[in-house]
Amino acid sequence: MTGTQRRKAADAWAFRTRVEHEAAARFSRLATEISRFDPLSPVPALMRRAAEDEHRHATLCAGLAAAYGTPATASANEVPIAPRALGARAAVLYEVVAACCITETESVATLTSLLAEEIDPGVEKVLRAIARDEVVHGRMGWAHLAREAARYDVSFLSSWIPEMLSGSVEETLFSHLDATPEDRDLLRHGVLPPSQKRTIFARTLEEVVVPGLEQFGIDGSPARAWLCARIR
Ligand SMILES: [Fe+2]
Ligand SMILES: [Fe+2]
């Protein structure tokens, strides 16, 4: 492994550490907000457990970042991501769909693809531990969406999906200006080449996320148009 590769692996794991810390804070906050308007929902308890999972993931990721040479930084600050135009309850639904139905579902797909590769044993252990939890975190989002859809029309989310998608992927992922070289050697350290990352993201969106949303009457056309504009 060259010095540059070590640095890239360390940066990727340090970035994931921040993402995990942010997810922990977001889930704790959403748990409190949901229990306010839906006190009988089982989702807040799941969210609190998920927040604990994310703290554990952050520790695992920070351990790898340190092993590749970058000590973990302090936890990131988490901010609500819903647009101001939405009312309080719709804003929570926006965040749950973005963070769980989209981000966690995409995360599971990425982890599953990585685990199909030949991975360094230390990295593989971390990926397996995280993947197991993220499956549950995705389901928790679909469960909240189902509860809300049973009470009111959630089709308004359709036009917000592109914004959620832009927020959930790293800005460079679909940029054709992205000059990140494809380095397949980094795969064994848990870093996917950008082209593979794009393919997984697109396929999961088309085959899992959009059909899932459509079950609740959320039109998938804006999401498909968003993707089309980026993969051509
Ligand atoms: Fe996580
Ligand atoms: Fe998660």
pLDDT digits (tens, 9 = 90+) for 112-142: 999 999 999 999 999 999 999 999 999 999 9
State the pLDDT at residue 112. 95
State the pLDDT at residue 76. 66
Using the mean position of ligand 2's atoms as its centre, give its distance from the Cα of residue 133 in Å.
6
Rg (CA), the chain: 18
State the pLDDT at residue 176. 57
Using the mean position of ligand 1's atoms as its centre, give its distance from the Cα of residue 228 in Å.
28
Using the mean position of ligand 1's atoms as its centre, give its distance from the Cα of residue 14 in Å.
13
Q: For the chain, give me the number of helices (H) and strands (E)?
A: 9, 0
Alpha-carbon distances of 111 from 5, 59, 89, 124, 197, rounded to whole Å: 20, 17, 31, 10, 10
Nearest to 95 by CA among 21, 167, 155: 167
Nearest to 65 by CA among 14, 129, 15: 14
Return d(Cα 35, Cα 41) in angstroms, integer: 7
State the pLDDT at residue 71. 79
Taking only the tens of pLDDT, the chain with its 232 residues reads 899 999 999 999 998 999 999 999 999 999 999 999 999 999 999 999 999 999 999 999 999 999 999 877 766 678 889 999 999 999 999 999 999 999 999 999 999 999 999 999 999 999 999 999 999 999 999 999 999 999 999 999 999 999 999 988 865 676 654 556 678 889 999 999 888 999 999 999 999 999 999 999 999 999 999 999 988 6
Nearest to 26 by CA among 89, 82, 83, 90: 82
Q: Tens digits of per-residue pLDDT, 14-34?
A: 989 999 999 999 999 999 999
What does residue 38 show for φ and ψ, rounded to 5 degrees?
A: -140, 70
Residues measured by CB to lie within 5 Å of ligand 1, the ion = 20, 54, 57
State the pLDDT at residue 156. 97
Using the mean position of ligand 2's atoms as its centre, give its distance from the Cα of residue 2 in Å.
31
Nearest to 110 by CA among 157, 53, 169: 169
Which-ligand-closest: CA of 21?
1
What does residue 161 show for φ and ψ, rounded to 5 degrees?
A: -60, -45
Return d(Cα 130, Cα 61) in angstroms, integer: 10
How far is CA 10 from its chain centroid? Answer: 20
Instruction: Tell me the torsion sign for CA atoms 23, 25, 31, 37.
Output: negative
State the pLDDT at residue 79. 85
Using the mean position of ligand 1's atoms as its centre, give its distance from the Cα of residue 98 in Å.
14
State the pLDDT at residue 106. 95
What domains, with CATH codes, occur in the chain? Answer: 3-231 (1.20.1260.10)
Which-ligand-closest: CA of 47?
2
Return d(Cα 106, Cα 47) in angstroms, integer: 18
Return d(Cα 195, Cα 9) in angstroms, integer: 17
Instruction: Tell me the torsion sign for CA atoms 7, 63, 45, 207.
Output: positive
Which-ligand-closest: CA of 127?
1
